Amino acid sequence: MPQSLRPQGTGAVSPRNALASALLALALLPPAAVEVAAQSVAVSAISSATRFPGGLPIADLSEDEAILHALNRLAFGPRPGDLERVRQMGLERWIRQQLDPESLPDDPVSRRLEPLTTLRMSPAELLERYPSPQAAARRAGLSRDAVQQQAEARQELREELEALRERVEGMGGMPDAETRRRLRELRQGMDGESMGGGPQTIQMELVQAKLIRAIESERQLAEVLTDFWFNHFNVNAAKGSTRWLVTSYERDVIRPNVLGRFRTLVGATARSPAMLFYLDNWLSADPGGAERLEGRSAARARVRVLRGGRPSILGGERRVPDQGRAMRRGLNENYARELLELHTLGVEGGYTQADIVEVARAFTGWTLRAPRQDPGFLFDARLHAPGVKTILGRSIRGGGQAEGDAVLDLLASHPATASFIATKLARRFVADDPPEALVRRMARRFLDTDGDLRAVVEAMVYAPEFWAREVFRAKVKRPFELVASTARALGADVLVAMPLVQWTARMGESLYLCEPPTGYPDLAEGWVGSGALLHRLNFALEIAEGRTRGVRVREPAELRGGADPLDAALARFVGGQVSAGTRKALEERMGSDAGMRPNTIVGLVLGAPEFQRR
Amino acid sequence: MSISRRVFIKDGAVAVLGFSALPSFLTRAVASTPSPTGSDPRVLVVLFQRGAVDGLNTVVPFRESSYYRLRPSIAIPRPTGRPDAALDLDGFFGLHPSLSPLLPLYRGGDLAVVHATGSPDGTRSHFDAQDYMESGTPGVKSTEDGWLNRHLQTRPGSESPVQGVALGTSLPRILRGAAPAVAVPEGGRFEVRAGDAAADGLEAMYAGTLDEALRGAGRGTFEAIDMLRRAAPGNRAAEHGAAYPRSRLGRSLQQTARIIRANVGLEVAFVDSGGWDHHVNEGGVEGLLANQLRDLGLGLAAFHRDLGDRMGRVTLVTLSEFGRTAAENGNRGTDHGHGNCMLLLGGGIRGGKVYGRWPGLEPEQLYDGRDLGLTTDFRTVLGEVLVRGLGSPDLGDVFPGFGHNPKGWLGLMT
């Protein structure tokens, strides 16, 4: 590892210092952690200085705690055997590998993803093969009325299904035979439709792939970061055409850049059809430019698109009129505002409403070619606002398409951006309220390396704050993190991913369907309301007891042996560390129900407060 | 599969339905919640339209010629009596035609409008503006709790653990704080699906944990289970022939009505409604806003009808983080603006009137030269509702730093 990465002054920690810092950490702890900490403080204080001779500045945590911490933060939680594996290879080496995902073979996951063919398709192919019902009907030569009738019939089926569902709930979840029969019919009809090539297939394969990767991929940090950066540059698959664009967005825009340069990443999102569509920039135009455009004939515009655009696999004769063109009459601030507020500077970044308008003007002309057939990036000079733009006091002039890039250059190298990105990363990976010193260090690294995201993540992992006792198990798992970490902890075979995806949605995190551009929150209070918690508990019990469809769970062998099954379950799923309260509650309940199955015990441990945190 | 993919994909939210034979569970003794007897508490329902609804196309100033100049392609036509034009309220303002289910409520005196209202903070960030409106302290980010929770804190003798309810999976900012409040799903069953010992074990683990956040969530969860169990039987269907729309909003409002009917001590409820951010194709008589408003209008009218006489002790108010630009943008939509309108429905509302001073839409009258101005702080409206409608003893605690002056009240409560 490069020398410069080693944090100053924390290289070697003497046992005395380690003890002192452990005790200090203990004093600063929230009450929840004190009990746990008290059990382990003696061990960690003695062992840490000798066990971590490399660059990792670990002082408070024992070796096993540090490994669990890393697996919970840089991965989606430990699988059976992971702790031993990392202990054997060395924690720092494991981290180095995770920072270099290409070095890790991942063939089993590639094979699992093989049947999900939409993952490899371009937006144009997806639009061709999985058209909307309306487009499919048009293509089949159906009349407008027939399309309308089909849509109404579908809506009636949907409403009947909803009504039946309510009736079933009124029956206490136990429908009579007739209701069951009709429900089965309806669901088959609906499934048949969605399996039969509707655009839902795209969404289903995406969520399945995300879950499979999170549970099984060796490149865990890359998966965590892909989730993080998608969320940072959020797009919502449910908004109009975005559903055909999200596959490529994650694959081509987010995933290749998560350990690359921030400027490259933000530039890729700015040009991506998904973002251009989701935040409406494809429709933003200089009002004067729109008039210029309308002055020319629609036919000429089409000819230009046909010449300039990549040939569509649909061929020219299938082109429907470009609805965007008629609507493209003036400025739309949506992208400009979120670029400043959410993607780069942050809301405290010191920009004004006038800056937003100027940024929007600079990005006029950044649009889509053939949004419904082959939605690639296109710069249309006729839509571009002429004249100088003044952004954050800097003049940007006369560059056409290059103006947008100049804005991105300015934003990507801005100190406010460095600090905003550092804060968000630290909030996801370290603590809801991350230590200022850590954020400062990461932000400095961001600026020193020209926004090298690998270096920023390294700076975080090589900071003592990352390994501090007070952040150990301090983060509440997001629903997706909970579901993935549960499946990993159980060593479950996930044959069908959808039921787990649905649990994630019930807990409040619908994958790829976050509506606002903020993405989902990384703060505990967003995730542990009473409604969500009940779903977490029911999920734990259902999956542990083997009741989740398509998920095979074996009873952990150690629970059948001679040892106390509760001790065994606690050791396996929460590293043996639970509060006395949790242990007492579990022991009492097991005492009152002597016949409690080992899998139910596992379910209770997975439902425990300790497993809700990472 | 037991849950249709379609349902999941369509609304992405909670659509719970299990088909396995379920043990009819929950035989554990429930210490019955002290349900206030004698005088039922009054209930405040806050409906938040996230994304910033366009108030100018919701309650249309059709006498303003500048309105039509600013919005050439999305303006709602002046009232004609036909369903493709504004519905006249008072000769100056009209409802969006999609809100036609609300017109009888307005005429019957149960629905009022406040226009040119909102938060005085100038931010046009959804996140910050929502945060300010929920904390009740515009411009101050350090406020930790929400104003709806602080209102509960100031209520004397509040006893029910379910005095504050949010529909959804997590407790929103507005209800977070020291007073107990719970999040309940807008539909579906709400119970631990396991044997008694397992359920008791979970409850005990969360009751005994030192993890404060999770202990609070656990307490809320098990209280909500009790409450919904008592609210549900024989109480599922809407009354008086009310038909709720089959949307998430419709289900949320119906669930709220159920909980109100159950008399379990509810005092404030919070209903979230998303999807009001229409930069593109917001449209006029038809379009995205028209569809959303149809859902809102049908939902509110069903809620009103469902509760019948009980509506006399229920007040519903709408909030949205800011309004939208007075002029349409280039895409038949509108961008982030400032002043907005609020709807108030229910008992105690002196309805049939549009309240507030109208600032006008001429260039020099616009806020920042682009947005509807603000003449009534949202806290003035809420202050009057809280004091005169709900008997709030101390607005200074609910909205700290806001100089409350009853002389500034609009007189919208009887």
Residue from the list A284, A531, A609 with its beta carbon closest to the beta carbon of B211: A609
Residue numbers of B between 358 and 377 with CB closer than 8 Å to A: 368
Among all residues of chain A, which has the CA nearest to that of B330? A330
Q: Give every CB contact of residue A323 below 8 A, 6+ residues apart in sequence.
A: A372
Instruction: Say whether B211 and A32 touch across the interface (CB within 8 A).
Output: yes
Q: Which of B290, B211, B309 is nearest to A577 (CA)?
A: B211
Q: Which of B381, B391, B324, B379 is nearest to B355 (CA)?
A: B381
DSSP state of B71: -
The pLDDT value recorded for residue A168 is: 66
Residue A85 distance to chain B (closest CA, Å)? 31
Residue entry with tokens 């008399």: B263
How would you label A583-600 residue by residue, b for 16+ Cβ within 10 Å and e otherwise? Answer: bebbeebbeebeebbbbb
Residue from the list B3, B202, B330 with its beta carbon closest to the beta carbon of A604: B202
Residue from the list A170, A528, A534 with its beta carbon closest to the beta carbon of B213: A528
Using CA atoms, how far apart are residues A451 and A3, in angstroms rounded to an integer? 19
Residue numbers in chain A where pLDDT is lower than 70 = 1-53, 162, 165-174, 187-197, 290-328, 561-562
Q: Which residues of B touch A276 (CB under 8 A)?
A: none
Q: Which residues of B touch A290 (CB under 8 A)?
A: 330
DSSP state of A229: H
CB B84 within 8 A of CB B98: no
Instruction: Say whether B8 and A501 touch across the interface (CB within 8 A).
Output: yes
Output the CA torsion sign for A592, A597, A602, A603. negative
DSSP state of A368: E
Tokens read off for A5: 């990465």
H/E element, B295 = helix B288-307
H/E element, B83 = none
Instruction: Say whether B205 and A604 touch across the interface (CB within 8 A).
Output: yes
Best mutation site among A180, A368, A534, A542 for testing chain B: the one with the most B CBs within 10 Å?
A: A534
Q: Is B332 on the interface with A (CB under 8 A)?
A: yes
> Max Cα separation, chain B?
69
Instruction: Say whether A541 and B277 touch across the interface (CB within 8 A).
Output: no
Tokens read off for B205: 């683990």
Using CA atoms, how far apart are residues A508 and A90, in angstroms rounded to an integer? 37
Q: Where are the beta strands (DSSP E) in B103-147?
A: 111-118
Among all residues of chain B, which has the CA nearest to that of A170? B236
Instruction: Say whether B22 and A172 touch across the interface (CB within 8 A).
Output: yes
The pLDDT value recorded for residue B19 is: 24
Residue from the list A334, A537, A545 with its beta carbon closest to the beta carbon of B202: A537
Question: How many alpha carbons lie under 13 Å from residue B72 in its C-beta half-sphere?
Answer: 6
Q: Give every CB contact of residue A524 below 8 A, 6+ residues apart in sequence.
A: A432, A475, A476, B213
Residue from the list B188, B191, B330 with its beta carbon closest to the beta carbon of A283: B330
The pLDDT value recorded for residue B32 is: 31
Among all residues of chain A, which has the CA nearest to that of B145? A525
Q: Which residues of B touch A330 (CB under 8 A)?
A: 329-331
CB atoms within 10 A of CB A433: 11
Q: Is B29 on the interface with A (CB under 8 A)?
A: no
CA angle B91, B92, B93 (to 5 degrees): 105
Instruction: Say whether A592 and B331 touch across the interface (CB within 8 A).
Output: no
Contacts 24+ apart (CB under 8 A), B119-122: B119/B321, B119/B322, B119/B374, B119/B377, B119/B378, B120/B374, B120/B377, B122/B338, B122/B368
Instruction: Say whether A174 and B22 touch across the interface (CB within 8 A).
Output: yes
B302, B307, B309, B312: CA torsion to nearest 10: -90
Residue numbers in chain B where pLDDT is lower than 50 = 1-38
Among all residues of chain B, which has the CA nearest to that of A515? B275
Residue from the list A194, A533, A592 with its beta carbon closest to the beta carbon of B218: A533
Residue A263 distance to chain B (closest CA, Å)? 24
Among all residues of chain A, which has the CA nearest to that of B14? A506
CB B373 within 8 A of CB B116: yes
Beta bridge partners of B93: B61
Best mutation site among A36, A433, A501, A533 for testing chain B: the one with the most B CBs within 10 Å?
A: A533
Tokens read off for A309: 């655009």
Using CA atoms, how far apart are residues A68 and A71, in angstroms rounded to an integer? 5
- For B321-354, write each residue's pLDDT tens digit: 999 999 999 899 999 999 999 999 998 999 999 9
Residue numbers of B between 240 and 259 with CB closer than 8 Å to A: 246
Residue entry with tokens 């452990």: A22
Residue from the list A341, A535, A579 with its beta carbon closest to the beta carbon of B210: A579
Q: Is B27 on the interface with A (CB under 8 A)?
A: no
DSSP string covering B203-256: HHHHHH-S-HHHHHHHHHHHHHHHHHHHHSTT--S-STT----SSHHHHHHHHH
- For A462-488, write each residue's pLDDT tens digit: 999 999 999 999 999 999 999 999 999
- For A16-69, write each residue's pLDDT tens digit: 444 444 444 444 444 444 344 334 333 333 344 445 657 899 999 999 999 999
Q: Is B16 on the interface with A (CB under 8 A)?
A: yes
Residue numbers of B between 178 and 217 with CB closer than 8 Å to A: 182-185, 187-198, 200-202, 204-215, 217
Using CA atoms, how far apart are residues A14 and A19, in angstroms rounded to an integer? 9
Best mutation site among A382, A523, A530, A600 for testing chain B: the one with the most B CBs within 10 Å?
A: A530
Give this complex's ipTM: 0.78
H/E element, A330 = none
DSSP state of B325: B
CA distances (Å), B326 to each of B291, B322, B363, in order?
Answer: 20, 12, 10
Question: How many alpha carbons lie under 13 Å from residue B391 in its C-beta half-sphere?
Answer: 9
